[in-house]
Amino acid sequence: MPTYKVGPGMVTATTPPKVVRPLICEQCFEALGNVSAVAQYTSVSANVATATWPEMAEQLRRHEGICTAPRVSGEDLRAAADGVRDVVEGRTGVGAWRSDGRQADDDKLGT
Ligand SMILES: [Zn+2]
């Protein structure tokens, strides 16, 4: 069973502002969606993730059934790294809400 991590957050432009973070499978690096979380987490089991973010229950359940990516070969690791880069740069999944959100880390740097 894969575990999940909650990645770097962005602050929404809503009132009150929320910190939303991508929920990412640690086995295949697919981003399942965004969750509201104050802190980053790693090695979160599917059960804990479902209990913590009930809105992700369906995505988690479905992902548990299809996630087969092995952690082994260099080719897989490269593909996984590409996937993470896609998520970070907003090309897949988590990019949609950027239009009404801000990158928290950017704010700290004053850029
Ligand atoms: Zn996965």
Centroid of ligand 1 to alpha carbon of 93 (angstroms)? 14
Kindly give the parts of the chain with pLDDT less than 50: 94-100, 104
Do 49 and 33 meet the contact criterion of CB atoms below 8 Å apart?
no
List strand residue ranges (DSSP E) for the chain, in order.
4-6, 10-12, 19-25, 31-36, 41-44, 101-103
CA separation for the pair 58, 72 (Å, rounded): 28
pLDDT at 89: 66
32 CA to middle of ligand 1, Å?
A: 9
Q: Could you tell me the distance, in angstroms and rounded to a whole number, from the CA of residue 42 to the centre of ligand 1?
A: 14
pTM: 0.60
Burial class (CB in 10 A: 0-12, 13-18, 19+), 29: buried
